[in-house]
């Protein structure tokens, strides 16, 4: 699995305790896509020095010559549970090579990956950011633990930003993601009417503010 390293702020020594932000792209994109958000986020995180790890999906996206997907086959169908487990566990392996715990940000299909990483490997995820995405409705081994943590007032922090009229993600999928995250994380939910299936500056500003408490050294 291909991964590219970038930095928010100054590059730091090769130290697994350095705060790490993992970026997971959407279907038909690639690992360089979300890295374009880093300079914009840096404007709102001037004192943060963190590793950014952008990971590429393993499968060519159908109909996208330079794009990739996290799962084989059509994006319109939920992949088999085995395919989801293999993809998410591969990302978990990449994360473990670089850090003990990370903040994970995913866009669209990448949000599904980010949330499923939390659901399968909660010990690896400090916080999760989902943008214009969805959550699969199958059971994952960490679901019960995440729910217990929420009831105990110690839920994993999560950010979910979306346009209620997203032209790609159906409203029923958005509503399912909202319900799941409310029940299994400490959710910060934001609506951005008019951004469609994309990311806008107000959302980047809110994401940067959310990330501040997790990406400072020693946090």
pLDDT by 10s per residue, the chain, length 219: 789 999 998 887 777 778 999 999 999 999 999 999 999 999 999 888 899 999 999 998 988 888 999 988 766 778 888 999 999 999 999 999 999 899 999 999 999 999 999 999 999 999 999 999 999 988 999 999 999 999 999 999 999 999 999 999 999 999 999 999 999 999 999 999 999 999 999 999 999 999 999 997 655
- Name 103's bridge partners: 21, 127
Q: Are 165 and 135 in contact (CB under 8 A)?
A: no
Q: Are 67 and 91 in contact (CB under 8 A)?
A: no
Nearest one of 145, 157, 59, 172 to 105, comparing CA atoms:
157
CA distance 125 to 155: 12
CA distance 26 to 110: 5
Domain that holds residue 138: 3-215
In the prediction, which pLDDT does 77 show? 74
In the prediction, which pLDDT does 10 show? 83
**What CATH number should be reported for the domain holding residue 121?**
3.40.50.1820
In the prediction, which pLDDT does 72 show? 83
pTM for this entry: 0.95
CA distance 76 to 52: 30
In the prediction, which pLDDT does 38 show? 92
Return the residue matching tokens 């959710």.
187
Q: What does DSSP assign to residue 148?
A: H
Q: How many folded domains does the chain comprise?
A: 1
Q: Quick one: which H or E segment has residue 191?
A: strand 186-191
Nearest one of 161, 160, 201, 217 to 8, comparing CA atoms:
217
């Amino acid at each position: 699995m291909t991964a590219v390293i970038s930095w928010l702020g100054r590059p730091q020594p090769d130290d697994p305790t350095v705060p790490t932000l993992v970026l997971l792209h959407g279907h038909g994109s690639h690992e360089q896509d979300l890295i374009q958000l880093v300079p914009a986020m840096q404007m709102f995180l001037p004192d943060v020095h963190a590793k950014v790890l952008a990971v590429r999906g393993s499968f060519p996206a159908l109909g996208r010559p330079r794009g990739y997907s996290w799962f084989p086959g059509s994006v319109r169908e939920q992949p088999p549970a085995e395919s989801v487990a293999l993809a998410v566990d591969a990302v978990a392996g990449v994360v473990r090579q670089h850090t003990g715990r990370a903040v994970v940000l995913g866009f669209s299909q990448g949000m599904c990956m980010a949330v499923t990483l939390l659901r399968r490997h909660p010990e690896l995820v400090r916080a999760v950011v989902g943008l214009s995405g969805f959550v699969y409705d199958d059971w994952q081994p960490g679901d019960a633990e995440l729910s217990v943590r929420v009831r105990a007032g110690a839920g994993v922090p999560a950010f979910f930003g979306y346009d209620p009229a997203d032209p790609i993600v159906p409203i029923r999928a958005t509503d399912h993601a909202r319900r799941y995250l409310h029940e299994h994380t400490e959710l910060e939910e934001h609506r951005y009417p008019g951004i469609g299936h994309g990311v806008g500056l107000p959302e980047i500003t809110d994401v940067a503010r959310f990330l501040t408490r997790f990406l400072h050294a020693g946090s």
